[in-house]
Amino acid sequence: MESMTNVNIRMSVEDKEMATSILESMGLNMTTLINMTIKQLIQKRKVPFEITAPSEDAYLLKYFTKEELEEGARELELMENHPENYKCYDNLNDLYQSLNED
């Protein structure tokens, strides 16, 4: 029989609850999933799933509300259609100087 060891991991309560619920619906638990993943890692000698960066939309929605993003999109459209109504700056120093003048 294989000797066993414990592995402790930290995750948010929300992630654990969501993952546990999904796994239970599949008849699995967290330990089984982690063991399956490790066995696949060993067998294939690579991470057994694709790892990608979050989409730009997911990143933006983490920091801005949908309403803020929609307002930003409207502002960009206005800027593109009426550039004469907006000031543009080549660097931050020019922007700061302009802000201090107003």
Residues 30-72 pLDDT 10s: 999 999 999 999 999 999 998 887 777 777 888 888 899 899 8
* pLDDT (0 to 100) of residue 102: 62
Q: 31 or 84: whose pLDDT is higher?
A: 31
How high is the pLDDT of residue 20? Answer: 96
Q: What is the pTM of this model?
A: 0.51
pLDDT band at 14 (very low <50, low <70, confident <90, very high): very high
Query: What string of H, E and C letters represents the secondary structure of 38-58?
Result: HHHHHHHCCCCCCCCCCCHHH
Residue 27 three-state SS: coil
Amino acid letter, 59? Y
